[in-house]
Homo-oligomer: A and B are copies of this chain.
Amino acid sequence: MDSEPATDWTLDPQLEHDTIFVCDLPLCQVRLMNDANYPWLLLVPRRAKASEITDLSEADQAQLMREVAQSVRALKSETVCLKINVAAIGNVVAQLHVHVVARFRNDPAWPKPVWGHLPARAYEDTARQNLVAAMRTRLTIAPA
């Protein structure tokens, strides 16, 4: 899975600022958006200079889909949400990153997309630690 060198990849500073490390999958670093409004993962392929999905090799594109599907299942199992939103937008931060967001009928943006709707509301320490630990377990101990 790690067919291309990842040594010159570094996380975009804005993404680092907005998120918390969860775990490394074979291709992507998984992070939790520090926004208690919605359970929200970010998948960042560890490939330097990738901005569009098509900047990845075909093998990496296939692996990205597997890791997206794995993250969808993990987030859906953990949150028992109504719907998952998946998106690669990147108009503001160019570094390729995929949003995986758990949505609920009573969340503050429903049924609109979450982007640009509300300012992020930082998690309290315990809630953040618990969700990161739960996602890490679901993504690394039981990835299927």
Cβ-neighbour of A52 out of B52, B84, B91 (below 8 A):
B84
Say if the beta carbon of A113 comes within 8 Å of chain B. Answer: yes
As for how many copies of this chain the complex holds, the number is 2
Number of chain A interface residues as a range: 20 to 34
Would A113 and B115 be within 8 Å (CB), given that A86-B87, A87-B86, A90-B83 are in contact? yes
Task: Please report the C-alpha to C-alpha distance between residue A68 and residue B52 in the assembled complex, in whole angstroms.
Answer: 11
Chain A interface helix/strand/loop/mixed: mixed
Cβ-neighbour of A83 out of B91, B112, B113 (below 8 A):
B91
Binding site for B on A (CB under 8 A): 51-54, 58, 61-62, 64-66, 68-69, 72-73, 76, 83-92, 103, 110-113, 115-116
